[in-house]
Copies of this chain bind each other. A is one copy, B any other.
């Protein structure tokens, strides 16, 4: 399996899970649960592809991922109630950090393939990393969490994306650059969370 593909699958499952939780919190029905999970999982990558005019979309060529979320949504409602007590906040934050790293770097990589200039590529990475959550929060009628909690999240992705871009410029091997940047983003995010860092306002 191609590396980027594997990266996106893991990130999608993590995204969908955040959608399940948020939709349940808003007391949505099964249609809402599926749609919000779908948007949380594919929203960032879809927005990136629309902005870059890349078609077919990731979830169109891989309908198996859409079906997977569909099946998960059907079984999620009872499951989530059980899981919520078992899944600690800590596990969610970790999974989410992993998703952020993977999604962001995959986004930069796609933007470079589409010959975007460097700054735009770094932004496309951040969009891929955070806009699933942003669109999820907009549909759930919330001010997006990532814009208001003052915790370094998008910024971790932004820094990591530049590390990836710089490694590319200096000729570092592509797969190594990809994995190490994703790891850097996830790690930085977790450190910021662990020590409860906040950005100045």
Contacts and interface: CB of A to CB of B under 8 A. Distances in A.
Label chain A's interface by main secondary structure: helix
Contacts of A139: 134, 138, 143-144, 147
A172 B28 CA distance: 37
A31 to B, nearest CB: 4
Bin chain A's interface residue count: 35 or more
A150 B27 CA distance: 9
A63 B119 contact: yes
Nearest to A54: B53
Contacts of A50: 50-51
Interface of A: 23, 26-32, 35-36, 46, 50-53, 55, 57, 59-60, 63, 66-67, 70, 77, 116-120, 123, 134, 138-144, 146-150, 153-155, 199-201
